[in-house]
Amino acid sequence: MFEDHLCLWFLRPAQLKALFVLTLTHGSATPVPMDCLRTCTDLCTPDLRDCILEGRGSIDDGVVLEVVQLCPSLSSLDASKSDNLSDAGLVHLKELQQLTSLDLFLCSKLTDNGLLHLQKVKQLTSLDLGRWDKLTDAGLSYLREMKQLTSLSLYGCKKLTGNGLVHLKEMQQLTSLNLGECYRLTDAGLGHLQGLPQLMTLDLYECKNLTDNGLLHLQKVKQLTSLDLGRCEQLTDAGLSYLREMKQLTSLNLSINSKLTDSGLAHLQELNRLTSLDLFRCSKLTDNGLAYLKEMKQLTSLKICYCHSLTKAGLAHLQELEQLTSLDLEGCPKLTDAGVASMLKLKHLTILNHESTKSTNFYSRF
């Protein structure tokens, strides 16, 4: 359409007046020419609800201003990976009175000062600030007035230590929080999450500073249903004891935690609401550990790939998990055809990954 400048997709366009979603993609690193932008946004009606801006260096403050002015009814704006978007550009968003979802993932120029402008967009329910390298604990203070937030991503904000999480206590509606790859996050920081009564989903993947003491704080967040502790490599079996009272958990990721052993799984055996459990590369687990899983009757997805000590004897414990639909056994070199075939007794199993095992059979069922 604008051959070297702009591509336009209408995602719900039975007719132009019914346009609700607009995606603007610019393949060049240079800013989007304003005449092209105006031509596209002139096609929009006041009912336009969702806009996705793609173009890394081509999306700047001017583009955001133009979109705000021409699309005042936006409820969702995705400006992720906009390398040229600055703090000053965010000031325009206060004009979007219906904006509830904002994605600013990997906007590398944005700083704490940008959040000063965002605090005026109080109707937001979903906010993604992932990989803001310049975001600090102090900057989170500007989020205190966003009391309607239900979902917040701070994924990969490497300067956050956890002290700033105290500012989230006013977010009484928050149900989902992503702190994955916040490498400086401390145990004490997790203590601030106890005041979030609606928090159900918490992602702490690869938070390298967390220890067993951090899980002591989490046991008081009793409404959690989904918890990601993958690659929190300081965690030990003792830490898992703090999870035993979190009986409402339905999804738990413990992958790539090399210190966990069979004894750690013993603490989890009463989590009988779990439907998904990830033990990928928990390399010290043995057949004895799998015995602690057999009471998890609601499990539908289990990953025990690259647990090198597992044999057919361990899989025998899993035959009581009659609701399993997905089982990942990849990279378990001691498993043979006989062991893998024993899992065929699970009638609901539709996904069985046995690559890099000693099993060579092809199972047509899968």
Q: How far apart are CA 105 and CA 85, in angstroms?
A: 11
Show the tokens assigned to 222.
């009793």
Grade residue 11 by pLDDT with cuts at 50, 70 and 90.
very low
pLDDT in tens, 98-154: 999 999 999 999 999 999 999 999 899 999 999 999 999 999 999 998 999 999 999
Of 240, 301, 300, which is closest to residue 265 (Cα–Cα)? 240
Please count the helices (runs of H) and the strands (runs of E) in the chain: 10, 15
R_g of the chain computed on alpha carbons: 24
pLDDT in tens, 51-103: 888 766 778 999 899 889 888 889 999 999 999 999 999 999 999 999 999 99
Residue 255: what are its φ and ψ, rounded to 5°? -65, 150
Show the tokens assigned to 100.
């509830």
pLDDT in tens, 280-294: 999 999 999 999 999
Residues whose CB falls within 8 Å of the CB of residue 63, separated by 6 or more in sequence, listed in order:
31, 32, 37, 53
Alpha helices in the chain (DSSP H): 34-41, 61-70, 112-118, 187-190, 212-218, 237-240, 262-266, 287-290, 312-315, 337-341
First-to-final CA distance of the chain = 44
Of 135, 136, 82, which is closest to residue 105 (Cα–Cα)? 82
pLDDT for 20 beyond 60? no
Residue 108: what are its φ and ψ, rounded to 5°? -70, -20
Show the tokens assigned to 228.
């990601």
